């Protein structure tokens, strides 16, 4: 279709075509009233649509204009006007951004360095946090909807299938809201989108930026891809560097395990500046309102000396002591803010504690003599047999300088060597107070371990990509009913300047049965 030179609404003279999508074509245009360049989206009816479908498409287009106009943010493309030319569909007049989409950039470059991807993710998260605060869920966050300006600006666009609180639902029967490769698992299962769904899609977009492919891969068969998305089985990133831990936690299969978009923005900002992102302690937002998912940040706990790990659950001091903090690194309180938020908002009842622990640890596999599968990085895999005593647990030596990968790996091995029925007090002391708060009381944690599994052992224990603060392993679990599964796990490690602790345990995809 050629409409070059056409004047829309008596003032917008169309120029070159700059984009197209499922709902229409975007033109660069000149606003002859205000003498500025704009983008005009010509919304098109699809061939073969009935009159009712065409009417629904018009209402959806008007809804896009209303929703997008509600959001005014420097990292979101603004909508200036919606006009009706009497030719069947409205035209949207939008901010013109000289740019390329992230999708086009990835086609050219293949992938981006982690810090560059994190900078993009930080700006998009900032816009989406504002959208969520306004009651808007984007529902189609993907590289094609992220614009990278020639001057370094980053903007999210195309709120065409967004849903805003208070707007009537306008969705064609059978219409899938979002692009399959970047959908959250709950959407693929048919659930309604929420802000947590946008968190997953943004993490998937950043994942694609550093890996070159989305977390569920690519497929010409959309149904097969949807099935894979619904399973939640992602491929752990190999090139993400400092982004590895936040991406794995933001890509959690359960939406209640993801933090809000404000925490995402802070984590991406930390990585963009070359720092370790704070490990998230996910909280379950109040389901009734969007506002409950946008709670304000809580200040981190006051700095104090490390407590005795055997008995205290006081807050940890900063991740790294001031005298050893590299030049240019922000205060540790900023790095830990995401974890502090999660703890402040977590409301974990004893019943929920049981579910969380079972999901993360599952069961235990009997492993006599440390033969739970060849572990990597030296040493033996973690094992659990008959009840052991504290004397079987190696003495915890102080870690007074930056930890090594071997020390982080050994920490995970030592912790799991006591589960589920060994020296559980010593194992509990290897968790940070933040993570202890997420698990609940020590007694409830011990009770759940005893009631849910016979044995658990680890194999293939190693640091992830050389990052000393990320450890991955396969957990081999024997449940109380004698069924056995293998569950890939990711562990976040925190250092307080004197000792290292496990700050989070995350399932990586679904468990697989073992004979």
Q: Are 229 and 251 in contact (CB under 8 A)?
A: no
> 288 burial class (0-12, 13-18, 19+ CB within 10 angstroms)?
exposed
CA-closest candidate to residue 463, choices 503, 408, 402: 408
d(CA 53, CA 68): 22
| Distance from C-alpha of 277 to C-alpha of 283, rounded to nearest angstrom | 17
User: What dihedral angle (degrees, nearest 10) is formed by the CA atoms of 362, 364, 365, 367?
Assistant: 150
Close Cβ partners of 438 (under 8 Å, ≥ 6 residues apart): 281, 282, 342, 343, 346, 348, 356, 504
Closest to 17 measured CA to CA, from 31, 30, 3, 7: 3
Phi, psi of 232 (to 5 degrees): 75, 15
Cα–Cα nearest to 41, from 14, 11, 5, 60: 14
Cα–Cα distances in Å, from 506 out to 36, 252, 253, 258?
Answer: 50, 8, 10, 11
Which tokens in the block code for residue 428? 């509990």
Q: Which helix (H) or strand (E) holds 139?
A: none
**Contact of 421 with 450, CB cutoff 8 Å:** yes
Both tokens of 63, joined, read 């809804």
State how far the Cα of 383 lies from the Cα of 304, in Å rounded to an integer.
Answer: 35
CA distances from 373 to 142, 312, 367, 460 (A): 39, 34, 9, 7
Residues with catalytic function: 140
Q: Is 364 annotated as a binding residue?
A: no
Contact 180, 188 (CB under 8 A): yes
Secondary structure (3-state) at 249? helix
Q: Quickly list DSSP for 53-107.
A: HHHHHHHHHHHHHHHHHH---TTBPPEEEEEE-SSSSEEEEEE---EEEHHHHHH
DSSP for residue 111: -
Nearest of 245, 315, 299 to residue 277 by alpha carbon: 245
Annotated binding site: 41
Annotated binding site for ATP: 41
């Amino acid at each position: 279709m050629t409409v070059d030179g056409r004047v829309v609404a008596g003032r917008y003279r169309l120029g070159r075509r700059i984009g197209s999508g499922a709902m229409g074509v975007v033109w660069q245009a000149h606003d002859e009233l205000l003498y500025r360049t704009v983008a005009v989206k010509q919304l098109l009816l699809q061939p073969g649509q009935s009159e009712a479908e065409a009417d629904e498409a018009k209402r959806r287009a008007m809804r896009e204009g209303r929703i997008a106009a509600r959001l005014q943010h420097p990292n979101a493309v603004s909508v200036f006007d919606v006009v009706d030319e009497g030719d069947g569909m409205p035209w949207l007049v939008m901010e013109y951004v000289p740019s390329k989409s992230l999708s086009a950039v990835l086609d050219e470059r293949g992938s981006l360095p982690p810090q560059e991807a994190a900078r993009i993710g930080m700006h998009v998260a900032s816009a989406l946090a504002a959208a969520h605060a306004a009651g808007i869920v984007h529902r189609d966050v993907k590289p094609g909807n992220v614009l990278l300006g020639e001057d370094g600006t980053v903007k999210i666009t195309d709120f065409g299938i967004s849903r805003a609180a208070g707007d009537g639902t306008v969705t064609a029967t059978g219409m899938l809201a979002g692009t399959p490769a970047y959908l959250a698992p709950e959407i693929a299962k048919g659930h309604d989108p929420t802000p947590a769904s946008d968190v997953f899609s943004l993490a998937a977009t950043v994942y694609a930026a550093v890996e070159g492919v989305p977390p569920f891969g690519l497929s010409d068969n959309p149904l097969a891809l949807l099935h894979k998305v619904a399973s939640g089985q992602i491929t752990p990133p190999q090139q993400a560097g400092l982004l590895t831990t936040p991406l794995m936690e933001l890509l959690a299969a359960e939406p209640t395990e993801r933090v809000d978009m404000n925490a995402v923005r802070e984590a991406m900002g930390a990585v963009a500046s070359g720092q370790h992102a704070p490990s998230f302690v996910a909280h379950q937002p109040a389901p009734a309102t969007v506002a409950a998912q946008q709670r304000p940040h809580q200040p981190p706990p006051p700095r104090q000396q490390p407590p005795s790990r055997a008995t205290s659950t006081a807050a940890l001091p900063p991740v790294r002591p001031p005298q050893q903090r590299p030049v240019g690194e922000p205060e540790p309180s900023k790095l830990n803010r995401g974890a502090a938020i999660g703890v402040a908002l977590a409301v974990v009842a004893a019943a929920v504690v049981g579910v969380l622990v079972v999901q993360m640890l599952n069961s235990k596999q009997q492993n006599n003599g440390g033969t739970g599968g060849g572990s990597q990085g030296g040493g033996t895999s973690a094992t659990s047999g008959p009840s052991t005593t504290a004397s079987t647990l190696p003495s915890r030596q102080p870690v007074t300088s930056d930890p090594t990968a071997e020390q982080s790996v050994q920490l995970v091995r030592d912790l799991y060597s006591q589960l589920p029925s060994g020296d559980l007090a010593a194992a509990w002391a290897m968790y940070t107070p933040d993570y202890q708060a997420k698990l609940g009381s020590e007694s409830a944690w011990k009770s759940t371990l005893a009631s849910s599994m016979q044995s658990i052992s680890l194999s293939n224990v190693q640091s992830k990509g050389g990052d000393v603060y990320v450890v991955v392993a396969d957990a081999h679990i024997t449940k109380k009913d004698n069924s056995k599964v293998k569950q890939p796990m990711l562990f976040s490690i925190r250092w307080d300047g004197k000792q290292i602790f496990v700050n989070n345990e995350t399932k990586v995809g679904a468990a697989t049965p073992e004979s």
